[in-house]
Amino acid sequence: MERVKRGIEKKIWKQGIYSWDSFLSKNKIDGLSTVRKKYYDRKIIEARKALYNFDSTYFKNILPQSENYRLYDFFKEDCVFLDIETTGLDSKNDDITLIGLFDGLNTKTMIKGINLDYKILKNELKKYKLIVTFNGSSFDVPFMNKTYPGLLPNIPNFDVKSVTDRLNLKGGLKEIEKKLGIKRNKIIEKFYGGDAVRLWRMYKATGDEYYIKLLIEYNEDDIINLKTIAEYCVRKLKKQFPKNQ
């Protein structure tokens, strides 16, 4: 599907067209040929049908990664916030050590060698229409696809990092949390990505559950706080839309 560039979208807004219905109701739109207008009409009808059938898969290859945030409000009741921990990319046999899921109410943690089961996880992920990550399009999703081919459902990934720079929220998840005043407990607040690897290695070396509990808390904070950051970003980006859209 041909994508409408942001500049063209703004020109359409200037003509008082703020929704699919208002676009379809116009016979002619300045800046669009008759042929292109009819093409977009067909695609809008197709997209609207997919949306109201809760078919998020339709949008996976249509929306660019930076625009997946537009799906959040519609699919937020059926989305999962996801984050993985690994053995570290410098490991000879890099692997997933922990997968954290948050549905907006409850967290689920699956740990390698304890309860990380491919079939159970695949069935769990089938419940969702949208995956929300931070830098997931560059790391979590390709790493999971490589480690567990076929595990992830064919649904869009709203990678929050793809929009934070547009809102002048520079840095990683922890830096953004601080800018937004999001707190963690004093021990976890000091941790960064490399510390998650060290916690796993300490757990495997000693068998002490203290380390795995810290790792679980660290990961849970990541996915719970990601929801707060995602919703902040969506609100901010929506303010760029026309007020009566």
Residues 6+ apart with CB under 8 A from 226: 81, 83, 102, 132, 133, 134, 160, 173
| pLDDT per position as a tens digit, 27-66 | 999 988 999 999 999 999 999 999 999 999 999 989 999 9
- pLDDT beyond 90 at 185: no
Q: Which residue has the higher pLDDT, 70 or 9?
A: 70
What's the one-letter identity of residue 43? Answer: K
Range name among 3-12, 119-128, 196-205, 209-218 with the lowest pLDDT average = 3-12
Q: Average pLDDT of 1-19? A: 79
Q: CA–CA separation, 212 vs 98, rounded Å? A: 10
Maximum average pLDDT range among 37-46, 90-99, 234-243: 37-46
Among candidate residues 163, 140, 154, 138, the one with its CA nearest the CA of residue 66: 163
At residue 237, does pLDDT exceed 90? yes
> Could you tell me which CATH class the domain 72-238 is placed in?
alpha beta
| Contact (Cβ atoms closer than 8 angstroms) between residue 125 and residue 151 | yes
Give the Cα separation of 164 and 147 in Å (integer): 28
Q: What percent of the chain is modeled with pLDDT above 90? A: 76
Which pLDDT score is estimated for 186? 73
CA separation, residue 201 to residues 24, 87, 103, 160, 208 (Å) = 58, 8, 28, 29, 11
Residue with token string 């942001």: 6
Instruction: Determine which of 21-25, 144-148, 164-168, 239-243 has the lowest per-residue pLDDT on average.
Output: 239-243
Residue 90 confidence (pLDDT) = 66
In whole angstroms, what is the distance from residue 41 CA to residue 17 CA?
Answer: 13
**Among the listed ranges 8-12, 129-133, 173-177, 230-234, which one has the minimum average pLDDT value?**
8-12
- For 205-231, the pLDDT digits (tens) are 999 999 999 999 999 999 999 999 999
Angle at 236 between CA 217 and CA 63, to 5 degrees: 85
Q: CB–CB of 133/83 below 8 Å?
A: yes
The pLDDT, as a whole number, for residue 92 is 64
Domain with CATH 3.30.420.10 in the chain: 72-238
Q: How confident is the model at residue 191 (pLDDT cuts 50, 70, 90)?
A: confident
In the predicted structure, residue 245 carries a pLDDT above the cut 50: no
Distance of alpha carbon 218 from alpha carbon 135, whole angstroms: 17
